[in-house]
Amino acid sequence: MKYFLSLLSVIFLGFSAHSRQNQNLEELSETESIKINQIGFYPGQPKMAVIPEDAGSDNFLVLEKETQKVAYTGSLSESRSVAYSDKKTRIADFSAFNEEGEYVVAIPGYGKSFPFKVEEGNFKELGKATIKAFYYQRVSTELPEEFAGNWARPAGHPDDKVRIHASAQSDQRPEGTIISAPFGWYDAGDYNKYIVNSGITVGTLLSLYEDFPDYFAAQNLNIPESGNDVPDLLDELMWNLRWMVNMQDPNDGGVYHKLTTADFEGMVMPHLATNQRYVVAKGTAATLDFAAVMAQASRVYQEFHPESAKTYLDAAEKAWKWAEENPDILYTQNELNKLHQPKINTGAYGDRSVADERIWAAAELYITTKNPAYLEEITAPKEGFQLPNWGNVSWVGYYSLLRHQDKLQAIPTALTQQIQSALMQQADDYITGMENTSHHTVMGQTEKDFNWGSNSNAANQGIALIQAYMLSSEKKYLEGAFSNLDYILGRNATGYSFVTGFGDKSPQYPHHRPSEAEPEKDPVPGFLVGGPNSGQQDKCNYPSNIPDESYVDETCSYASNEIAINWNAPMAYLVNALEAIHLD
């Protein structure tokens, strides 16, 4: 009897413990402090969530979203931290769990994460949206509902009566001359068009196409050109190339630095922003970036638009020539403003060195023309790997050389080897350094990662790792790239998924005029915001001064919450490349 009773009580206790656990799990509420990629994972991909050290448990569970059934259990890692923050984290690693479905991560007694999916094809829609975002930035055209849905809008900025600014005058085109330079994409949250920033943006996207042409042959973006014989990505890029071509002075080959109003416009829709637009000063950085892009475009479009391909190559060679004759004309907005009226107060994109632009332009011209004169201009990467950004583009050119090396017989092996070893060295450092980050990502190994547009650093690090993967076929590099995709989509110190319209906690108030001007609508989707920026130059009300938390989802914050084409391009590269490689 005694035995029977104790057996009964064991059964009873066991039963109630079980139902208590289930009941407890159901009662757990969703918490933003469990940081996870809010879109999810491919089955075979590493899968992690990040939990605050003080969450009060050593274990975690993966629950099926609908049934709340336990699908996986694991224990949390030792606690970890980074040098620039005293917050400590623990990792829930469920990489071994590969069942397709929709789940949450739960910490008993603490809470549940946002839901996420384990699924093939998980990033397909995001991949498309990051490129469709460029369509939403189109200048000089209406966006009809058929293509733009909820974000349809009237045409803005015809840009057919642009004035030559005093800083840009020449004998053939004196100050006040009217030129036409329509089309292109708005740079960012503002409505101006800047050649330097268009340069790296178009270069990154053309490289994405060159790396994965088959994937893009099949991608449908639902833009007006969809259904013609040209991949949609290339149709979209042509919208900007059509503008860029007209930024070259046909008389001498020099390229204007930007097309802009004198001051930033108000937070209104494009068609209501009607102040006079100017082209300002020609410069060497703009001209070399232009040469690089046109040279690359000329080989990419050869198959689809041979006429345009020829125009692009002529434009590239003319630009190169101008830059040879004018090797050091830097864009110094403050200096120019002392000399000319009206003063120009929009984005400067002023670069103090054009050595990297020269390498990039020479590389693209060499690949397209095979003319050895360009090869002579390509120097080795003396300073090792340099993460690309608008002011540092040499590695955009080096990637191209690696991509095409098999077809470049005259290129010295020593040069390609130096490029390759600098890249692999950096890739290895990124992978090793992941162990020392609080969120187990490549991003955030140094405080310097968190500058203006930091999210584009995460994306560009991902591109470097994808290049390393394509050279070596070593999976660890791909996993490093995935870690930064996870970072961008929520596994970061802020808990935001940084792409508008994607994830449960994504930016609602980006610094983006069309989104701000129609606050009743969701923000225009598919845009990567700048991200944590310890500089906090906009002086908005940030929740924290810790570098990796210096982000605020407010329109005010152009230094952490603006969107920009040069940030969306590497984001588009990262997510589409991972999807393309995965499909292979």
The residues carrying an active-site annotation are 190, 511, 553, 562
Determine the size of the site formed for ligand 9MR (CB under 6 A).
Answer: 13
Closest CA to 160 of 189, 141, 140: 140
Which residue of 216, 264, 509, 551 would you call a contact of ligand 9MR, by CB under 6 A?
264
Residues 223 and 236: beta-carbon distance below 8 Å: yes
Which residue of 133, 230, 402, 564 would you call a contact of ligand 9MR, by CB under 6 A?
564
Q: Which two tokens stand for residue 342?
A: 């009206």
Residues 195 and 293: beta-carbon distance below 8 Å: no
Q: Which two tokens stand for residue 524?
A: 């225009």
Distance CA 573, CA 571 (A): 5
Say how far residue 170 (Cα) sits from the centre of its chain: 37
Task: Compute the least distance from the CB of residue 151 to ligand 9MR, in Å.
Answer: 19
Instruction: Kindly report whether the peptide bond that precedes residue 342 is cis, defined as omega within 30 degrees of 0.
Output: yes
Closest CA to 294 of 327, 319, 324: 319
Distance CA 482, CA 465 (A): 9
Task: Compute the least distance from the CB of residue 555 to ligand 9MR, in Å.
Answer: 8
Residues 191 and 265: beta-carbon distance below 8 Å: yes
Q: Integer distance in angstroms from the first to the last C-alpha of the chain?
A: 66
Which residue of 38, 41, 165, 190 would you call a contact of ligand 9MR, by CB under 6 A?
190
Closest CA to 103 of 118, 91, 93, 123: 118
Q: Alpha-carbon torsion 84, 85, 86, 88, what sign?
A: negative
User: Nearer Cβ to ligand 9MR, position 427 or 565?
Assistant: 565
Task: Compute the least distance from the CB of residue 452 to ligand 9MR, in Å.
Answer: 4
In the three-class reduction of DSSP (H, G, I as helix; E, B as strand; rest coil), residue 98 is classed as coil
Task: Compute the least distance from the CB of residue 550 to ligand 9MR, in Å.
Answer: 14
Residues 258 and 195: beta-carbon distance below 8 Å: yes
Task: Compute the least distance from the CB of residue 274 to ligand 9MR, in Å.
Answer: 17
- Which residue has its beta carbon closest to ligand 9MR? 347
User: Nearer Cβ to ligand 9MR, position 185 or 264?
Assistant: 264
Which residue of 212, 278, 452, 527 would you call a contact of ligand 9MR, by CB under 6 A?
452
User: Nearer Cβ to ligand 9MR, position 136 or 264?
Assistant: 264
Q: Could you give the C-alpha distances from 119 to 6, 41, 46, in angstroms and in order? A: 46, 6, 13
Backbone torsion region of residue 527, taken as left when φ is above 0, otherwise alpha when ψ lies between -120 and 50, otherwise beta: beta
User: Nearer Cβ to ligand 9MR, position 346 or 494?
Assistant: 346
Q: What x/- string results for residues 345 through 364 when contact with ligand 9MR is judged by CB under 6 A?
A: --xxx---------------
User: Nearer Cβ to ligand 9MR, position 190 or 252?
Assistant: 190
Q: What x/- string results for residues 210 through 249 when contact with ligand 9MR is judged by CB under 6 A?
A: ----------------------------------------
Q: Interface with ligand 9MR includes 526 (CB under 6 A)?
A: no
Stretch that binds ligand 9MR, among 182-190, 297-305, 317-325, 476-484 (CB under 6 A): 182-190
Residues 169 and 530: beta-carbon distance below 8 Å: no
User: Nearer Cβ to ligand 9MR, position 449 or 486?
Assistant: 449
Which residue of 320, 558, 560, 575 would you call a contact of ligand 9MR, by CB under 6 A?
558
Task: Compute the least distance from the CB of residue 486 to ligand 9MR, in Å.
Answer: 24
Could you write out the DSSP letters of every residue in 487-509? HHTT-STT----BTTSSSS--SS
Q: Interface with ligand 9MR includes 514 (CB under 6 A)?
A: no
User: Nearer Cβ to ligand 9MR, position 72 or 185?
Assistant: 185
Q: What x/- string results for residues 45 through 64 when contact with ligand 9MR is judged by CB under 6 A?
A: --------------------
Which residue of 127, 253, 397, 453 would you call a contact of ligand 9MR, by CB under 6 A?
453
The label of the residue with tokens 């929520």 reads 490
User: Nearer Cβ to ligand 9MR, position 113 or 515?
Assistant: 515
Which residue of 159, 317, 449, 562 would you call a contact of ligand 9MR, by CB under 6 A?
562
User: Nearer Cβ to ligand 9MR, position 469 or 558?
Assistant: 558
Query: Taking the CA of residue 203 as centre, how many other CA atoms within 13 Å lie in the half-sphere pointing to its CB?
Result: 34
Stretch that binds ligand 9MR, among 135-143, 184-192, 310-318, 361-369 (CB under 6 A): 184-192
Distance CA 337, CA 482 (A): 45
In the three-class reduction of DSSP (H, G, I as helix; E, B as strand; rest coil), residue 141 is classed as coil
Distance CA 108, CA 28 (A): 8
Q: Helix axis angle, 565-583 relative to 475-488, nearest 10°?
A: 130
The label of the residue with tokens 């391909």 reads 309
Which residue of 189, 270, 526, 531 would you call a contact of ligand 9MR, by CB under 6 A?
189
User: Nearer Cβ to ligand 9MR, position 253 or 547?
Assistant: 547
Q: Interface with ligand 9MR includes 188 (CB under 6 A)?
A: yes
Q: Where are the beta strands (DSSP E) in 182-302?
A: 193-194, 256-260, 278-282
Q: Could you list the residues that contact ligand 9MR (CB under 6 A)? A: 187-190, 264, 347-349, 452-453, 558, 562, 564
